[in-house]
Structures are given as C-alpha cells and as structure tokens.
Amino acid sequence: MTLETISAARSFGGTQCVYRHQSRATGTPMTFSLYLPPQATGGTPLPVLYFLSGLTCTHANVTEKGGYQRVCAELGLILVAPDTSPRGEEVADDDAYDLGQGAGFYVDATEAPFETHYGMYSYMIDELPELIGASFPADPRRASLTGHSMGGHGALTIALKNPSLFRSVSAFAPIVAPSRVPWGEKALAAYLGSDRAAWRRHDAVALIEDGARVPEILVDQGTSDSFLERELKPELLAEACAAASIPLTLRMQQGYDHSYYFISTFMEDHLRWHMARLLA
C-alpha cells in the first residue's frame, strides 16, 4: 500500500507527519497524521495510540490543538489520528454537520447512499493498523484507543468489540449511548437502517449490557459541556459499567467545555495512563 507524504515537521526531537493513501475500506483516498517520537530510530517497535476525532473534524484538529507531541516524545509513543470519514466529490454527504462527510461515526454503513464508501469501522480495525504496522516501527501487540465526542464513541465501541486488538481505551466527552441521543439516532438510522437491534453493535452502553468487556475505561467530561445532558449522558456509561463490574474512572472536570482547550488540558493524563498499560 503506497503512502504519500503530505507534510513532515520536526517536533520535540521526533517528526509530526501527515500521510494519504488509497483505502480499500472506503474506496477513497484517506488521510491520517502520525507522530513518530525520537525513539523510533532505535530499532525497537514502539507502542501506538489511535486518537479518533469528533464531528466536523479531520486529522488536523488534534494534531494542531491536542498538544500531545512533547509527552509522546518523552514516552516513546506513536500517535495516529485518522480522518473522521471518507471525503471527495463522489462521496455521499449531507447538508447537516452531523451526517455525511466529517461524521462517519466509525461504522460500516449498510444503507444507501452511504454504503459505498462509509467503511470506517473496517478501516479502523483492519486496514489502518495493518498499514501502520507495515510502514512504521509500531508494535501491533501494543495498541490502544482514545477519542473525543463521536470519536470517543468510536474508541469505546471498537475497543469493546475487539478486546484482543487494543490494550486500553479512554475517551474525552464521548457519545456513550448513541441509540438513545439525537446525534446517534440520526446517524445510526442513516448508516445502518431502522432496525435498532443493529444499532446495539455500535453503542458502548448497549455492548456492555450485551456482554462486551474491557479491563477498564478512563473518561474525562467537562461539566460546562453544552452537549452533556442532551447528547453525551456519561451517567449511562457509569451505570452500565457498574452493573458489569468494569472499572470506570469518570472524571467530571469542573467548568470545562467540549473544545480542544478541554482536551489539551487532560491529554497528558490520558497518554501516561495508556502508556502504563501498553508497557504492562
């Protein structure tokens, strides 16, 4: 699989890069950013953390605003940030910000007009990790997931469905129960159809209720997040984890909102939390 280098810049002794490749999962070019820490020259495969972004975002949001490069350089951690959906003139879209391009919801769509290109779930569990492992000094046995909002939904559901692929999972202000909130109901109906039973396979709370397990979860949520009560509902995740005996660290951060000011404040905590588990 051919990688096209879009940009590369030195950062804290490592290199912050952006790449493009032709994706078999989406049938389109896909872009992702990758931070390669200075330890990458040592010959030993390094752990990798995937950051999944939220609605309207691309790889660039966390790359430019997340503030992770210094800590990744210290830890020897590769961080990969994929785009949130396929893009292009031939790719189905919607006039609303919460559906279509920029809003892939990390599912494999089955419904027209999205089924042709919206294969973000397959991209994340199969194609992208394969590409990273083949192209960079990344250890496929030491991979973890995190994400924000829609990307937090993606990180939680992908980890719950693939516990053997990812050692740990965390999230910033995740959509924990998309089957029960407006953002998720709209997207899941459009991508997967009207059968709500199919939605449960892409809903973190429902997956836990149906028996999916991970060793533990870390979630940070701002108390001043304007989407907290209507779209995010972290209390539902807390209830599901308690019933399933999944250790959940849910930190309600006083006064923080949904923005990258919030994410960058607690990014270092998440990086160090994951690294401890990646090295265990």
Active-site residues, by number, are 149, 225, 258
Q: Any idea of the CA torsion for 249, 251, 252, 253, to the nearest 10 degrees? A: -170
Q: Which two tokens stand for residue 29?
A: 């070019």
Determine which helix (DSSP H) or strand (DSSP E) holds 103, and give its type and residue range. Answer: none
Beta strand 29-36 with 14-22 is antiparallel
**Rg of the chain over CA atoms, in angstroms?**
17
Distance CA(151)–CA(104), nearest Å, equals 10
Q: What is the dihedral of CA 18, 135, 108, 213, to 10 degrees?
A: -110
Q: What are phi and psi of 130, to 5 degrees?
A: -65, -45
Query: Strand 29-36 to strand 138-147: parallel, antiparallel, or no bridges (unpaired)?
Result: unpaired
- How far apart are alpha carbons 86 and 248 in whole angstroms? 32
The CA distance from 79 to 69, in Å, is 8
